[in-house]
A and B are shown apart, each in its own frame.
Chain A
Amino acid sequence: MDKKKLRNDLLLIVPLLVAAIIALVVLLTRKTNKPLVAKVYVSNEVVQTIDLSDTSERDYTIQGKNGELIVHVHDGSIKVSKSNCPHQDCVNQGEVKDTNHPIICAYNEVYIVIEGASDYDVEI
């Protein structure tokens, strides 16, 4: 193998890898001091805002584009416990507690994102 080409490879790969790792670290260390809420989007509209500082165990039924999902909230974490989507990616994602892991169900156009609570009660 050409030594020169290999050196060029490293010059290409290492910066890319480093950049990706830095991006990952920055993402993971994002923090918010506000109480957390989970926002459930269906086809890009927020259909439910769930207060995660309420630690009681509860379920929400979400009407997605092609079916129903059951979202389970307990003790500050949220997960999709049941969904009619074929791949079950959203269910396999498991529990999410922080702002860096959106749960996405492409089949139903549903995604769940955790954010710091909005200062407002409603937005018009």
Chain B
Amino acid sequence: MKESKFNVHKMALLGILTAGAIVIGILESLIPIIGIPGVKLGLSNIVILIVLYELGVWEAAFVSLIRVLIVSLVRGTFLSMGFVMSLSGAVLSLGIMILFVLLIKKFSIIGVSVIGALFHVFGQIAVAMIYLSTAYILFYLPVIAISAIITGVLVGIVAQLIINTKVIAKQKEKYKF
């Protein structure tokens, strides 16, 4: 069978994974982070990481961006500052993770997850600072950075554990994508 980019089984899998990322995104948006509105834990990165490592760069971008879009539509924050913050965080985090996975191959998934989490938070805070035109937000950066690093480690471990179960690897082999 030809290896095709538009493999139906792959699409279905991506759909499920995206839905998972969306659900996690919605649930975590209900957790308030004190200090800056719009900063999130970044748990949906578990899914993004898995997709990045198992399915590819474009697929990861797809899942991440669709997640940002749908979560904001569901929560009613579409086009608000929170939406732009999430988008900027997602883009920056994805960018740096892709860089690390493709070019700087010296780190394991945990390292990539941490750097992804940090850049996610940087993206969010940078946008908040621009929208509110103030540097006072930086007061919260150390606390949020520490939390991002810790969740980054946990997210990385969970992602690795799921990859180790070879659930997706088996699907890839079975349906040849």
Contacts and interface: CB of A to CB of B under 8 A. Distances in A.
* A–B touching in complex (CB under 8 Å): yes
Given A16-B118, A44-B133, A111-B132, A87 B37 contact: yes
Contact of A101 (B38, B132, B139): B139
Given A12-B111, A12-B114, A24-B146, A101 B35 contact: yes
A4 B176 CA distance: 31
Contacts of A113: 136
A20 B146 contact: yes
A47 interface: no
B158 interface: no
A9 interface: yes
B37 A1 contact: no
Nearest to A3: B108
Interface in B103-146: 106-108, 110-111, 114-115, 118, 128, 131-134, 136-137, 139, 141-143, 145-146
What 7 A-B pairs come out closest when comparing CB atoms?
A9-B111, A24-B142, A5-B108, A23-B142, A20-B145, A89-B37, A102-B136
Interface of B: 32, 34-38, 81, 106-108, 110-111, 114-115, 118, 128, 131-134, 136-137, 139, 141-143, 145-146, 149, 152-153, 160
14 contacts: A5-B108, A8-B108, A9-B110, A13-B111, A13-B153, A16-B145, A20-B145, A20-B146, A23-B141, A93-B34, A104-B136, A111-B134, A111-B136, A113-B136
